[in-house]
């Protein structure tokens, strides 16, 4: 990020998965900016995010103020602001920021509240942070696609954070029964209509299954259930209480003090379950949570990853996170075949700030999601000859063969690997490697890594990347 800023760029987007420490990263950067004599404005859009940023700044010893209803204005060099509040006050403030940090920056587009703030402080460097640089409406976050950012910087992926011990591995179970969404329309933003969705999923069959599977796979461990509406969340909590579990719902009408108490009770184990519509999708850290129960279908990859991310944080003795997907967000059965939707949480994602062509859905992009569902226990996992959970062996499929010199020869992984190495060895430039990466579905970072290891010059932006 420093190199990009030093090169003259002003607006960068930093991507780091949920649980990877985005808040601490930008709070550390804010502290460094203050040491250089700059004021820093941190934009958030939820009360939970405002308080989370404040806690992280305090842990780093950074004095700061909060610009939001109920908070007294201060003159500290760092201000964490509710975007809804700052957009009304910025015209009267005599406090020019030297850096603007935008949390959950996938919301930052032209015409949005965030966009109005950025446009007002034109010329001020901007750092956006997000776990998912993709919008459901397909609009790009790049300045060439209707957004603001000039460059994207990728941090570790979910898979890499798992290998590093910063997150735990998700174990996903998906229902073999597809949820009937007939009559449920989508909003202008691209996700399902909340009111209609609540009616489609708030049914005894789905809720009863959620209780049974919670008992089977989580056995009373702390969990969060993500629901389609406030009424749905209340009904689900009631069903869990009827089954003997300590469960409460959480929504925007719950007073702040009571909301904090309920979240704290889940964190200490006094509660088995919190059900919620939107309140704890973003900015809530409860590492003890052992599982996420998905009861709200969503077309949004961002929301899906935010929700499952609530359960991926490590905790003493916690080896994995159980994801119970009752609504097919990871994928669902269609005509007896499991069809991936958003895939597994730790799938590699080929993020882009370019946006998508109008009418093209995220799952239509040139990304291959390789997962399968066990026919016996319904666990969703990466392709394997048998289920890693119950050991069920899948029927053996006939292997592909290749005709060579008139003889039939079986294609083996070793052969594929050997041919790929040959192809890679023929690459003479970074653009050649980048083309190979695209054909294989690799991230551009692979091309850069191979190029540097072979001493091939790596331009700031190549002709292939520009195209």
- The model's pLDDT over 22-69, given as tens digits with 9 standing for 90+, comes to 888 999 999 999 999 999 999 998 888 898 899 999 998 999 999 999
Residue at which a domain ends, from 99, 131, 157 = 157
- Per the structure, the count of domains in the chain is 3
Task: Give the whole-angstrom CA distance, residue 363 versus residue 386.
Answer: 26
20 in the same domain as 125: yes
Residue 433 near residue 424 (C-beta atoms within 8 A): yes
- For tokens 């392709």, name the residue: 383
Query: C-alpha distances in angstroms, 372 versus 292, 333, 422?
Result: 20, 10, 31
Residue at which a domain ends, from 157, 185, 201 = 157
- The model's pLDDT over 430-457, given as tens digits with 9 standing for 90+, comes to 888 888 887 766 777 888 878 887 778 8
Q: What is the pLDDT of residue 138?
A: 80
- The model's pLDDT over 286-332, given as tens digits with 9 standing for 90+, comes to 888 999 999 999 988 888 998 999 899 999 989 999 999 988 888 87
Residue at which a domain ends, from 107, 124, 157 = 157
Could you tell me if residue 405 is inside a domain?
yes
Using pLDDT thresholds of 50, 70 and 90, give the confidence band for residue 408.
Answer: very low
Task: Give the whole-angstrom CA distance, residue 467 versus residue 343.
Answer: 29
Could you tell me if residue 353 is inside a domain?
no
* Of the candidates 89, 134, 88, the residue with the CA atom closest to the CA atom of residue 108: 134
199 in the same domain as 80: no
Give the rounded percent of residues in the chain with a pLDDT score beyond 90: 39
132 in the same domain as 81: yes
Q: Is the pLDDT of residue 9 over 90?
A: yes
425 in the same domain as 335: no
Could you tell me if residue 124 is inside a domain?
yes
For residue 434, give its domain range: 401-466
- The model's pLDDT over 193-210, given as tens digits with 9 standing for 90+, comes to 877 887 888 877 777 788
Could you tell me if residue 194 is inside a domain?
yes
- The model's pLDDT over 81-126, given as tens digits with 9 standing for 90+, comes to 999 999 999 998 888 999 999 998 988 888 888 999 999 999 999 9
Using pLDDT thresholds of 50, 70 and 90, give the confidence band for residue 467.
Answer: low
Task: Give the whole-angstrom CA distance, residue 235 versus residue 291.
Answer: 19
235 in the same domain as 275: yes
267 in the same domain as 141: no
168 in the same domain as 43: no
Task: Give the whole-angstrom CA distance, residue 385 versus residue 368.
Answer: 19
Could you tell me if residue 77 is inside a domain?
yes
Q: What is the pLDDT of residue 464?
A: 55
Could you tell me if residue 332 is inside a domain?
yes
Using pLDDT thresholds of 50, 70 and 90, give the confidence band for residue 387.
Answer: confident
Q: What is the pLDDT of residue 396?
A: 58
178 in the same domain as 305: yes
Q: Is the pLDDT of residue 403 over 50?
A: no
- The model's pLDDT over 250-274, given as tens digits with 9 standing for 90+, comes to 887 888 788 888 888 988 889 999 9
Backbone phi, psi, residue 370, to 5°: -100, 100
Could you tell me if residue 394 is inside a domain?
no
CATH number for the domain including 12?
Answer: 3.40.50.300
Q: To the nearest 10°, report the CA torsion of 313, 315, 318, 323.
A: -30
Count Cα neighbours of 270 within 13 Å in the Cβ-side half-sphere: 7
What's the token pair of residue 338?
């499991």
Count Cα neighbours of 277 within 13 Å in the Cβ-side half-sphere: 18
Q: What is the pLDDT of residue 13?
A: 96
Q: 156 or 369: whose pLDDT is higher? A: 156
165 in the same domain as 108: no
Between the ranges 222-231, 417-426, 438-447, where is the mean pLDDT highest?
Answer: 222-231
- 149: alpha, beta or left? (left if phi > 0; alpha if psi -120 to 50): beta
Could you tell me if residue 130 is inside a domain?
yes
459 in the same domain as 413: yes
Q: What is the pLDDT of residue 362?
A: 47
Q: Is the pLDDT of residue 406 over 50?
A: no
Using pLDDT thresholds of 50, 70 and 90, give the confidence band for residue 76.
Answer: very high
- The model's pLDDT over 329-367, given as tens digits with 9 standing for 90+, comes to 888 767 667 778 888 888 888 898 988 755 454 444 444
77 in the same domain as 54: yes
423 in the same domain as 276: no
């Amino acid at each position: 990020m420093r190199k990009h800023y030093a090169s003259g760029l002003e607006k960068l987007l930093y991507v780091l998965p949920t649980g990877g420490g985005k808040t601490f990263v930008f709070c550390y950067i804010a502290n460094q900016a203050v040491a250089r004599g700059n004021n820093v404005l941190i934009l958030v859009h939820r009360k939970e995010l405002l308080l989370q940023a404040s806690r992280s700044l305090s842990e780093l010893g950074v004095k700061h103020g909060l610009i939001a209803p109920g908070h007294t204005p201060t003159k500290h060099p760092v201000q964490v602001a509710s975007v809804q509040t700052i957009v009304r006050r910025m015209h009267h403030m005599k406090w020019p920021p030297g850096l603007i940090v935008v949390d959950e920056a996938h919301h930052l587009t032209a015409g949005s509240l965030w966009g109005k703030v950025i446009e007002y402080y034109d010329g001020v460097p901007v750092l956006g942070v997000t776990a998912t640089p993709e919008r459901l409406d397909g609009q790009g976050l790049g300045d060439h696609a209707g957004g603001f950012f000039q460059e994207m910087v990728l941090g570790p992926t979910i898979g890499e954070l798992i290998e590093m011990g910063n997150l735990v591995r998700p174990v996903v179970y998906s229902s073999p029964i597809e949820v009937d969404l007939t009559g449920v329309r989508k909003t202008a933003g691209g996700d399902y209509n909340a009111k209609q969705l609540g009616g489609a999923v708030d049914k005894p069959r789905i809720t009863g299954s959620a209780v049974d599977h919670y008992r089977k796979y989580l056995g009373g461990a702390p969990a969060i259930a993500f629901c389609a509406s406030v009424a749905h969340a209340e009904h689900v909590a009631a069903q869990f209480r009827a089954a003997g579990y300590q469960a409460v719902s959480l929504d925007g009408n719950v007073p702040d003090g009571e909301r904090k108490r309920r979240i704290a009770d889940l964190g200490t184990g006094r509660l088995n379950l919190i059900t919620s519509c939107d309140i704890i999708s973003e900015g809530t850290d409860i590492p003890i949570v052992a599982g996420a129960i998905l009861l709200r279908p969503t077309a949004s990859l961002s929301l899906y990853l935010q929700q499952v991310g609530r359960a991926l944080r490590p905790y003493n003795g916690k080896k994995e996170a159980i994801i119970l997907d009752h609504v097919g967000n990871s994928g669902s059965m269609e005509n007896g075949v499991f069809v991936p939707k958003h895939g597994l949480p730790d799938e590699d994602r080929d993020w882009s700030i370019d946006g998508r062509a109008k009418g093209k859905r995220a799952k239509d992009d040139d990304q291959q999601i390789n997962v399968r569902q066990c026919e016996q226990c319904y666990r969703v996992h990466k392709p394997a000859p048998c289920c890693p959970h119950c050991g069920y062996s899948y029927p053996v499929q006939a292997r592909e063969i290749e005709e060579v010199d008139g003889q039939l020869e079986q294609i083996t992984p070793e052969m594929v690997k050997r041919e790929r190495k040959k192809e890679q060895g023929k690459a003479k430039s970074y653009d050649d490697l980048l083309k190979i990466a695209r054909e294989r579905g690799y991230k551009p970072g692979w091309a850069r890594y191979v190029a540097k290891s072979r001493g091939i010059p790596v331009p700031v932006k190549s002709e292939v990347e520009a195209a």
